[in-house]
Amino acid sequence: MSKIEELADRVERLLLRHEEIKRTNALLEQQLAAVTQERDSLRSRLNAARSRIDALLERLPTDKALAASLDDGDGAT
């Protein structure tokens, strides 16, 4: 095989490898986009849950309010 034929063969293999890497890269970009979207959705759900928990915590009586309600006879027999 001549040097030109060997070089042409190597160039063909490089081109095939390049196309394979481009396809792999495209698939990885799709996976990254999907995972990023899922992460953003989970963050949004987490923030919503935190807000609901904060709202519930705000509704709980404080120690002083609880003590005052007990002193008013709610807990007395």
Per-residue pLDDT of 50-73, as tens digits, reads 999 999 999 988 877 777 878 876
Helix, strand, coil % over all residues of the chain, rounded to 5: 90, 0, 10
> Which residue segment(s) compose the domain that 58 sits in?
3-71
pLDDT of amino acid 74: 56
- Give the 3-state DSSP-derived string for the chain, with helices as H, strands as E and coil as C: CCHHHHHHHHHHHHHHHHHHHHHHHHHHHHHHHHHHHHHHHHHHHHHHHHHHHHHHHHHCCCHHHHHHHHHHHHCCC
The tally of domains found in the chain comes to 1
In a domain, residue 23? The reply is yes
pTM equals: 0.65
In a domain, residue 31? The reply is yes
Please name the residue that has the structure tokens 């001549």. Answer: 2
In a domain, residue 19? The reply is yes
